[in-house]
Amino acid sequence: MKITSVEWTGLRVPFRGRYVTAQESAVDRHTMLVVIADGEGTTGIGEAAPVGVGSLGDVQRLDQVLQAVCGRLLGMEPSRAMDLLLALLPDAGIGAAARFGVETALLDLRGKEADLPVAHLIGGEVGHPQVNAVIGMELLSDAVHAAKAAVSSGFGTLKLKVGRPQLEEDRIFVEEVRRAVGASVRLRIDANEAWDVEEAIVAINALEPFGLEYVEQPVAGIRALAQVREGVGVPIAADECLATPADAAQALAANAADVFVVKAARVGGLVQAVKMIELAEAGSVGVVVTSSLETGVGIAASLHLAGVLPTDGLACGLATAGMLEHDMLRSSIRVADGRMQIPDRAGLGVELDMRAVARYAVGIEGRVGEG
């Protein structure tokens, strides 16, 4: 079937509590939903999600990109349209976010037409990947309470946001969470590039006694990441510096990381993300698929991506929809015993709650085509 229309709607979805990292502090998540229809009335949905919390300006720029590109997809079969997207949209920034949304909608459409889950279309399987809980930079008492609650609900891995102005604050934070959850729970920390190389080495060595699974992106850039990895005994994960498969190849050549954190929104869609995963596996580097704080649509896409990974691999960072006031889905994807079910129905396997979409819309929307 050929594409007859593409439409998109910008959203502002409040967080349930302020989202705070070393780089961001926000009360809302801005994003864009994309819906593509074929001649039979079948629709595919996707989410063009800027990495991070996004902004109204990001949504406006996404609208401009989609206005410029989506008309060229009309009359094409979804598989051909996916090939064209790689040529039309860049590999980073807003272009990558737009490609993630449109490509996901195309994959959802293709999966429904073929009666296959998206995971099967990209070389994966459906299953129940492990996921981690995220503990932000909130008050210490709130963080400890959240950590204990997460473990009680079945999470075996916690990701702690660090990078406070004083290292001693991070040390107390990690120590108290470790004390609260016990030795068997895996702790990973994410500094979101808060440190320089010297600061990172000092901080990681100070936090190592609390039993860290890995430290995510302690510094900016691949070269600096390699220097940190050389100076510490804790595994290092690369995230922000991985925007393209070429970045992944450079990180491998530099021996910069033990783990790649792959965000489909950052790399421009599931197809590029699979290429990055294949490079990591060939280089004996672990992989964690994470969300970029998307609604349930983007998370569903990344769950299908996680179906490419080994069954008992590292816990993925996909249990984030609960941080938002609404996930935009008629039926949410639940977390049970620290795992999430990859939807096994055709396409993404999720449906939009159109009343919620209307409620959180910001008035930035567009459409090309008929039907």
Identify whether the C-beta of residue 45 lies closer than 8 Å to the C-beta of residue 104: yes
Q: What is the pLDDT of residues 329-343, one digit of tens each?
A: 999 999 999 999 999
Could you tell me which residues are beta bridge partners of residue 25?
20
Helices (H), 313-370: 354-360
DSSP string, 187-200: EEEE-TT-S-HHHH
**Which architecture characterizes domain 121-340 according to CATH?**
Alpha-Beta Barrel (3.20)
> How far is it, in rounded angstroms, from Cα 226 to Cα 203?
16
Domain spanning 3-115+350-369: CATH superfamily: Enolase-like, N-terminal domain (3.30.390.10)
Cβ count near 249 (within 10 Å): 15
| Of residues 145, 144, 82, the one with CA closest to residue 274 | 82
Cβ neighbours for 140, distance < 8 A, ≥ 6 positions apart: 172, 173, 176
Q: What is the pLDDT of residue 26?
A: 85
For 28, 57, 81, 231, 297, the CA distances from 363, given in Å and listed in that order, are 16, 13, 27, 50, 20
Could you tell me which residues are beta bridge partners of residue 335?
340
> How far is it, in rounded angstroms, from Cα 152 to Cα 172?
22
Cβ count near 341 (within 10 Å): 15
> How far is it, in rounded angstroms, from Cα 66 to Cα 95?
9
- Single-letter code of the amino acid located at 71: G
Give the distance, in angstroms, between the CA of residue 78 and the centroid of all CA atoms in the same chain.
24
Q: What is the pLDDT of residues 244-281, one digit of tens each?
A: 999 999 999 999 999 999 999 999 999 999 999 999 99
For residue 238 the two structure tokens come to 């690369």
Burial of 141 (0-12, 13-18, 19+ CB in 10 A): exposed
- On average, the pLDDT of the chain sits at 95
Q: What is the pLDDT of residues 76-116, one digit of tens each?
A: 999 899 888 888 876 668 899 999 999 999 999 999 999 99
Domain boundaries in the chain? Answer: 3-115+350-369, 121-340
Residues 11-46 as b or e (16 or more Cβ within 10 Å = b): bbbebeeebebbeeebebbbbbbbbbbbeeebbbbb
> How far is it, in rounded angstroms, from Cα 218 to Cα 200?
6
Residue 275 falls in the annotated catalytic set? no
> How far is it, in rounded angstroms, from Cα 307 to Cα 301?
10
- When pLDDT is cut at 50, 70 and 90, the band that residue 371 belongs to is low
Q: Model-level pTM?
A: 0.95
Among 112, 148, 159, 263, which one carries the catalytic annotation? Answer: 263
> How far is it, in rounded angstroms, from Cα 139 to Cα 271?
39
Q: What is the pLDDT of residues 280-321, one digit of tens each?
A: 999 999 999 999 999 999 999 999 999 999 888 899 999 999
Residue 161 falls in the annotated catalytic set? yes
Cβ neighbours for 214, distance < 8 A, ≥ 6 positions apart: 188, 234, 235, 236, 237, 258, 259
- Single-letter code of the amino acid located at 204: I
Q: What is the pLDDT of residues 195-242, one digit of tens each?
A: 999 999 999 999 999 999 999 999 999 999 999 999 999 999 999 999
Among 2, 112, 159, 161, which one carries the catalytic annotation? Answer: 161
> How far is it, in rounded angstroms, from Cα 321 to Cα 18?
14
For 22, 51, 95, 122, 272, the CA distances from 277, given in Å and listed in that order, are 27, 19, 21, 12, 9
Q: What is the pLDDT of residue 152?
A: 96
DSSP string, 103-158: HHHHHHHHHHHHT-BHHHHTT------BB-EEE-S--HHHHHHHHHHHHHTT--EE
